[in-house]
Amino acid sequence: MDQIAVYLEKLGYEVEDQGKIKRFLLVLKDGLPIGFILQDFTVKMISGEDTQKYDMLQRIVSFVRTNQHLQTAGQGNAEYIVITYRGNQLTTFFDLKTGQERYAVYIINDSGEVSSTIPTFDTYDAAIREFISQTSMIDLKAAAAKEPLHIRWRRQLVKHLMKGM
């Protein structure tokens, strides 16, 4: 619950911890209460609030629950570190504009400065591919050049059969 409160505050929401016996979070936007987050991480909206705000809060809570075991990146940053390799980082964050989880890659260059990839990535697969290629963690060209044994065998068989024609 504490991580959800901290994360929502980083995203511009105001959060108040409520309840002595059953703890819950009161979520405010621009000083007005919009909903509650209960101990079981369910989101309840104040009547009259639209479903877009509910969907957004639900996605944020789900994102934080999924990533709460990860270390946060930097001071006061709303990103979670997914992978670290030789000081380089692949992070994930919740983008309020799109309402989705996004990924960023931070690479340390030769002079020791950190640079991020722009644009960020919508999918983990695209982000991990960029991270691996930028950090040279795995030589992707060499890995792609090696065909599985059954494909090499099939290719040799086709060549042999074609010679007989």
Pairing of strands 100-108, 32-38: unpaired
Strand partners, 92: 80, 103
E-state strands within 11-111: 14-18, 24-29, 32-38, 43-45, 79-85, 88-95, 100-108
pLDDT digits (tens, 9 = 90+) for 42-52: 999 987 767 78
pLDDT digits (tens, 9 = 90+) for 61-113: 999 889 988 998 866 667 899 999 988 999 999 888 888 999 999 888 777 77
Q: Average pLDDT, stretch 49-57?
A: 81
pLDDT of residue 26: 92
pLDDT digits (tens, 9 = 90+) for 17-37: 888 888 899 999 888 899 999
